[in-house]
Structure 1
Amino acid sequence: MADHYEVLGVARDASSDEIKKAYRRLARELHPDVNPGADASERFKLVTHAYDVLSDAEQRRRYDMGGDGGAFGGAGGAAGFGGFSDIFETFFGGGGGGGSRGPRPRSRRERGQDALVRVTLELDDVVFGVHRDLEVDTAVLCETCQGACTQPGTSEVTCDICHGSGHIQRTVRSLLGNVVTNQPCGTCQGHGTTIPYPCATCQGQGRVRARRTVSVDIPAGVETGLRLQLPGSGEVGPAGGPNGDLYLEVTVAPHETFSRDGDDLLATLEVSMSDAILGTNTTIDALDGSVDLELRAGIQGGDVLTIKGRGITPLRGTQRGDLRIGVHVVTPTRLDAKERALIEDFAKRTKAPAPHLAEFHQGLFAKLRDRFRNV
């Protein structure tokens, strides 16, 4: 019987990887589907039997100690295999038409990843919504190959190792019998095809990194922390696969005058003591234009003026919230002699009672809470 190491053309201390590579090389050369000669068929049986012995650690140990290395399977092929075609399928995913029984090859086209962009808005933008053109650094379709991954004028070719199956089958002997496993082909990475001439622009990825502009209409009523989803506006997938989604995370910047309470806007109006006593008319600048206010005579600090429909348009709906203005009566802290005399004379004339505890009014605290909420 021929020496197994000589049959495979490897040294006696060859590693398992070296033995496997030698067998694959000889199997491609001698397989009956490729080389139908009688001599090649006999050599193929010897090569297969040699590999069957040397690839099994226990059989190789017994063979190195002088054993026969296992019974030879004769014309039916190596022991444990069904024939020449089965042996080839075990390591190369099928020869001739036998490669369709394993898993399907993996597509190069995959969905692109989602992207997240943070955008800061002013409170003015939230009232009615705003249009924004956002610059996004993402993956876009390669203009040279249009996602084909190959140089123009070339194409992918079927992998000569797995013959297009994308997987390699291997049979491992165990105490429970033969176990067949499928592993992705290392040559084509499971795709079933290779790219001899990858696109020079994208290095065979079908996409490149670039900055692009995304136009988006941000609806009214958004608030800090809200994420808006833009389907199909994320990065393009490998090999021109479908785009992922783009998410906008909103932050609303604080405003120096107005704050927000749901769909309502809150503000504080400072009123002089004389205007609070006598009453007056004034105009203020709201976020969407001017508002005329009438302050009745005797208005109190903590009173809340409500202007209907001058708040924020809700995220889902059309009825705007209100503008609520809390009144703050400003008491003068510096008086000249004449002003002080006038105030003293006013106090004598009105004969106001001394400061004292009054009946508890729940409404007063509610007004104060509304006035200072979110400020």
Structure 2
Amino acid sequence: MAKDYYSLLGVDKNATEADIKKAFRKLAHEHHPDKSSGDAEKFKEINEAYQVLNNKEKRDQYDQYGTTFDQARRQGNAGPGGFGGFSAEDFSRAGGPFGGGFRTENINFDFGDLGDIFGDLFGGGVRSRTRTTRSRAGADIEAAVQVTFEEAAFGTEKVIELERQVACDRCGGDGVEPGAKKETCPTCSGAGQVEQLQQTFMGTFRQASVCPECQGEGQRASKKCSSCGGDGRKRGTETMKLKIPAGINDGESLRLSGKGQAGQKGTSAGDLFIRISIAPHSLFSRDGDDVRTTLGISVSDAALGAKKNIRDGKRGHSE
């Protein structure tokens, strides 16, 4: 059964990108597995929903295909224009082993990239081309930073060191050796895809798949980068400044766009999510936006009233 991503995030189908992001941050904070009350499975579900609804192309596909979205995504071809030109209604009309009137010599289904299903079942031969890219965008990263009670209250700036996939400094992230250039892929002739026409008992199927040589780009490096092997990224350590706003909550996450894992061959990087934990304080505790402390006073002070200095030097009243 397909998941209702809108319900998972608690937004309606007309929600804006800002609404979706706000709902995700609230739920991610509530269900984060690092919290004692966290729910790892729920966190995974809302993250999955956010990855779809926060991406315009994926959201359009989800809105279009509805209950068949999960199946289409697993098959790798829920792109614009439908499932490679084939629908359940088309198949119903065709007949075959599921109905009458099926004529194998007159039917040609375009199943798009279904190599994982039909490629292992039937042999094939003829190659053609269309375009799809499989270069992988960078993954998101989660990290944790602890701050003091005062830093959480007044805000601070932290310097963090993070090991992650970074763009290759030799080729600039495109995977091409300096001095070399990109050339048209000879396997797909620049289309980015290869196709196979397969004869089966159900008719002739056209199976499209991403070109294994250029990964759907239609081009390849005339010489791959000697530092990253053509991937466009490698492991590295980066030092970055993290600005923590005043009043941040314990367990709240900060998002740094583009600071996750670098993408393959120059594709977009993922995001970095920093989970903030607040160290306990010996004198103060937090109650929402209020700060509480306990202050001992004498009987005369209690009877007549008094003003006391608290630790930070400001004048204040005891609770």
How has the CA–CA distance of structure 1 residues 164 and 90 changed in structure 2, closer, same or farther, with 3 Å as cutoff?
Answer: farther
Larger radius of gyration: 1
Deviates more, 1:259-268 or 1:150-159: 150-159
Match of 1:267 in 2: 293
Instruction: Give 1:118 deviation, angstroms.
Output: 0.7
Match of 2:141 in 1: 115
Q: Deviations over 1:142-187 (max 9, x none)?
A: 1111122121111233333322223332222233432222233344
Q: Percent same amino acid at aligned positions?
A: 32
Q: Quick one: which of 237, 244, 259 aligns to 1:218?
A: 244
Given the alignment of the two structures, is residue 254 of structure 1 paired with residue 277 of structure 2, yes or no? no
Instruction: Give 1:207 deviation, angstroms.
Output: 1.4
SS class of match (2:313): strand
Contact 1:92 1:163 in 2 (8 A): no
Letter of the aligned partner of 2:163 in structure 1?
A: D
Contact 2:134 2:210 in 1 (8 A): no
Match of 2:183 in 1: 157
Instruction: Give 1:260 deviation, angstroms.
Output: 0.5
Letter of the aligned partner of 2:286 in structure 1?
A: R
Given the alignment of the two structures, is residue 206 of structure 1 paired with residue 209 of structure 2, yes or no? no
Match of 1:135 in 2: 161
SS class of match (2:314): strand
Match of 2:151 in 1: 125
In structure 1, how many angstroms separate the alpha carbons of the residues matched to 2:201 and 2:225?
49
Contact 2:176 2:230 in 1 (8 A): yes
5+ unaligned residues in a row in structure 1: which ranges? 1-78, 81-88, 94-101, 294-304, 306-324, 327-375
How has the CA–CA distance of structure 1 residues 166 and 272 changed in structure 2, closer, same or farther, with 3 Å as cutoff?
Answer: same
Given the alignment of the two structures, is residue 175 of structure 1 paired with residue 198 of structure 2, yes or no? no
Contact 2:233 2:262 in 1 (8 A): yes
Instruction: Give 1:203 deviation, angstroms.
Output: 1.5
Letter of the aligned partner of 2:126 in structure 1?
A: F
Contact 1:92 1:167 in 2 (8 A): no
Q: Quick one: which of 98, 109, 130 aligns to 1:103?
A: 130
Instruction: Give 1:274 deviation, angstroms.
Output: 6.0
How has the CA–CA distance of structure 1 residues 90 and 190 changed in structure 2, closer, same or farther, with 3 Å as cutoff?
Answer: farther
Letter of the aligned partner of 1:162 in structure 2?
A: C
Match of 1:290 in 2: 313
Higher RCO (Cα < 8 Å, 6 or more apart): 2
Instruction: Give 1:120 deviation, angstroms.
Output: 0.5
Instruction: Give 1:214 deviation, angstroms.
Output: 1.8
How has the CA–CA distance of structure 1 residues 281 and 128 changed in structure 2, closer, same or farther, with 3 Å as cutoff?
Answer: closer
In structure 2, how many angstroms separate the alpha carbons of the residues matched to 1:219 and 1:132?
11
Q: Deviations over 1:191-233 (max 9, x none)?
A: 4334453211112111121111221221111111111112223
Q: CA RMSD in A?
A: 2.7
Match of 2:87 in 1: none
Q: How many residues align?
A: 198
Q: Deviations over 1:7-42 (max 9, x none)?
A: xxxxxxxxxxxxxxxxxxxxxxxxxxxxxxxxxxxx
Q: Deviations over 1:85-144 (max 9, x none)?
A: xxxx96332xxxxxxxx4304264x43222222110111012221111221212222111
How has the CA–CA distance of structure 1 residues 194 and 272 changed in structure 2, closer, same or farther, with 3 Å as cutoff?
Answer: same
